[in-house]
Structure 1
Amino acid sequence: EIMTRETMQYCLNAIQESDVSKVDITGGAPEMNPHFRWFVEEISKLGRRSIVRSNLTILTVNSKYRQLPQFFADHRAIMVSSLPCYTAENTDKQRGSGVFDRSIEALHMLNAVGYGQEGADLELHLVYNPVGAFLPPPQEKLKGDYQRVLKEQFGIVFNDLYCITNLPISRFLEYLLRLGQYEEYMQTLVDAFNPAAAAGGMCRNTVAVGWEGTLYDCDFNQMLELKMERGAPGHIRDFDIHKLKNRKIALNQHCYGCTAGAGSTCGGEIIK
């Protein structure tokens, strides 16, 4: 599942004919796509900014990827990286042995080229997901804990922390079903429904583009292969900003995850 250069060009065409200011590049390890650097460079040429969602550990693999922090800085890419916890024990428990140490190494590399540093226009944001069937804690408080521990113990700085609610899909759904907690967790989300959060959902101002170019209302719908409703463009080559702005959003029960409590988007809490 690798996006081709042709599909990327369709994306660039859409960006050029719209007022899109930021392009969010994700996919587990998007840096591995053979056209990744070209795509970021082309986005910069259009005067837009890339958001790169990196798993951090990829930056420590070999010399090819170790060059990326400077490349990101040169193109003012906004870095968003998952760090499940500020302790090695909890991070490795969730992501695998040694992940925390490699993540810390990658964060040092990003800090070294200016990311997260005061006065630098190089944003570095971390992402927290709960490790169980519960809603994330208040984002601002947890951010303070992350900043304090990472600074004191590792000398690492970053700009913001995004708390993202676990949606009952994919591996987390399997986890809930295996433990018999699915219905309880869904009830937690429903009980915490917040209309104000619904008004700020990312599906209201963002579209997701699958690796083959198919359009979705959000990346969670993409994971479920829940395509846009009829009447909206089905593929990025058919991009039509008017139709997209006036489309009906495809909903399902997982949407309660984005509207629970303070809300949740790829940029963390909706209600600050």
Structure 2
Amino acid sequence: MHTFSSRLLIALMAVLLLGTSAWAQRKPRIRGNRSPVDVSESLPPFRRIMLADDLEVRLLQRDSEGYGLHIDDNLVDILQFQVQDSTLVISSFYEVTGSRAMEITIFFRELSGIDIQAGRLVADTEFTSDVLRVQASGAARLEVRARASLFELDLSENSGADLNLAADSLSLRMTDRSDAVVYTDNGALSAGLSGNADLTLEGISGEAVLQLSGESGITARKLVAERLEVLIDGAATARVHAGTSLVLDAAGQSRTYLYGTPELTIRRFADRAELHKEPD
């Protein structure tokens, strides 16, 4: 009886501690005072951006680094813009529950990396970069128009992206329940999907390698890849359009739907894999 009571007490204390910890991590809430002001400040040079909180941030390429705000007056001081080791970290001390205006714009010269852990990041005016590596996690959303020699995207958890990209080389990695729509003109494309990730591809590619596992899916009927390689397993589904050639490696309960009239090479066709030829 004493042992049971002790265990019950320990369990109750653990639940209490977990609840206290979760409460301590919760940000206080604030509502805008509906009196918008405009604020602009310069920033030290940076090459990477990290968005850590549930904010919507716009990106614009300019000749110097800084930020501009069109925001309710009482919300100006809750935002923090810190540059550490060439990384701009954007965060908020409060959770904003409502506002008349809350527009955050970041001005940058060159970007080599983006890490978005929450919120929404928008770059709807095309910018250029040499090498750009982008990571998104949580429920973060990303909208980007860019030109780059090398563009790498890594999506996990419930994150998502809507991208318009011109790149010499494009690499996409998606896991969990992430999703993306990518319009692209590229020389070489590689995409690796697992879990329940879902990817829609449109545009043109010189050569593409698509790898799918789990219950992931790729819809690439409107992406014309001259030379295409598909490696598909598990219960994944791929809808692809090949121009000149297709190399297929299929296993599990995977399904591949092929558009176009390429030269077909089947490297492996195992288990209950399916290949369907679709009309153009």
TM-score bracket relative to the smaller structure = under 0.3
Query: Greater helix share, 1 or 2?
Result: 1
Query: Greater strand share, 1 or 2?
Result: 2
Q: Which has the higher contact order (CA 8 A, sep 6+)?
A: 1
**TM-score, length-normalised on structure 1?**
0.23
